[in-house]
Structure 1
Amino acid sequence: MALTRKQKESLVDNYKVDIESSSNIVLLKQSGIPVNEINKLRNSIVEFGAKMVVVKKRVFLSTAISSGLGEVSLDDLEGSVIALFSSGENEYLPLKEVSKFVKQAKKEKKLFELVYLGGWYDSEWKDSSYVSEIAELPTKDELLSKFAFLMNYPLRSFAVGVDQIAKKGE
């Protein structure tokens, strides 16, 4: 269904507000995702101050270019596109949430697709592999727990060894 000029202007205004309030924007290709599933994902990323919106590609790209973001070809954005706007100190956690959602769907053998197309970081377009790598980076809490384990492991091994020697001496 074609949009009227007034509807397009409203979309442009909404996109401008979202673009200006975001520190990074990621585009995802989606197909076949039931509404209840996408709403679960949308609700889970709201906790991190992020927003997911299904976008009209031409209108969104023209708004992105006029807002100073790097140019992207319409040919690079195939299918239905979702924009993920995130900002704040937890700007990368929504990506982890999307990755977790996709992994869970594959595990449950659900027949839908949600794929990274790319994103704007520091107003520069990055491809899907860049976004995927960022999504797989461990969080600060995960890194701290791994570090604590690494620090604790030698002490634990030493304690187990001393305990075994003590039992052998009895």
Structure 2
Amino acid sequence: MPQQYKIDKVAEIESRIAENAGLFVVNYNGLTVKQAQELRHQLRECGAEMKVYKNNLVKIALKNQEQPELDEILAGPVAYVFYESEPVEAAKALKDFSAKSKGVLEIKGGISDGKAVSADDVKAIAELPTKDQLLGQIAGLISGFARDIAVCVNGVSSGLARSIQQVSEQKAA
């Protein structure tokens, strides 16, 4: 019979999995307390949160929530970074911190959009532009097309006006 605190902890993990869009798994072995606090602060700024749970309890919670199994990366001292909606900002924060800490923090993989992702996939996600950046690029493209159309439409009418003016000047002469 499992102990009550373990049942409660699995329920807590399940609720985190259900409430968040995904999670990344990182090896935090070797981080100082100050580095861990700094990482947690950076993650909070981008809408993510780092938690440490027992790997066996996380395996049970993932299975209960019908998420992909991460058995191969859930070994040793790992932390779980839960992100609310956008994986890009959390992945960038992890990648930047890993580079800053000279590889002490190791990204092992995770779950994004209901699929298991490898460490290389997480690093590739970190290279993507954020949602706000993409929306800005799309807005720039749309405004560029609108401006080009306005110039073309204006060019046709002004060209027609110049042609009519030239014809009227020729007839007057």
Same fold (TM over 0.5): yes
Aligned counterpart, 1:97: 93
| Backbone CA RMSD of aligned residues | 2.4
| Distance in 1, Cα, partners of 2:101 & 2:134 | 23
Aligned counterpart, 1:166: none
Shift of 1:95: 1.3
Distance 1:41 1:76, change over 3 A: closer
| Distance in 1, Cα, partners of 2:49 & 2:118 | 20
**1:46-125 → structure 2 map (5 Å cutoff):** 46-73=44-71, 75-88=72-85, 90-106=86-102, 113-125=104-116
Pairing 1:130–2:116 present: no
Pairing 1:21–2:19 present: yes
Aligned partners of 2:88 and 2:128 also within 8 Å: no
Deviation sequence 1:77-134 (CA, Å, 0-9, x none): 232111110013x43211111111111222xxxxx62111111122221211111111
Deviation sequence 1:114-169 (CA, Å, 0-9, x none): 11111112222121111111123243549969xx9xxxxxxxxxxxxxxxxxxxxx
| SS class of match (2:121) | helix
Percentage of pairs with the same residue: 24
Please, which runs of 5 or more residues in structure 2 have no aligned partner?
141-173
Q: Which of these two proteins has the greater Rg computed from alpha carbons?
A: 2
More helix as a share of residues: 2
Aligned counterpart, 2:39: 41
Query: Which has the higher mean CA deviation after the structures are superposed, 60-69 or 135-144?
Result: 135-144
Aligned partners of 2:28 and 2:105 also within 8 Å: yes
Question: Normalising by the residue count of structure 2, what TM-score does the alignment of the two structures yield?
Answer: 0.70
Distance 1:10 1:41, change over 3 A: same
| Distance in 1, Cα, partners of 2:59 & 2:88 | 22
Aligned counterpart, 2:30: 32
Distance 1:142 1:67, change over 3 A: closer
Q: Which gives a bigger RCO, structure 1 or 2 (Cα 8 Å, sep 6+)?
A: 1
Please, which runs of 5 or more residues in structure 1 have no aligned partner?
107-111, 149-170
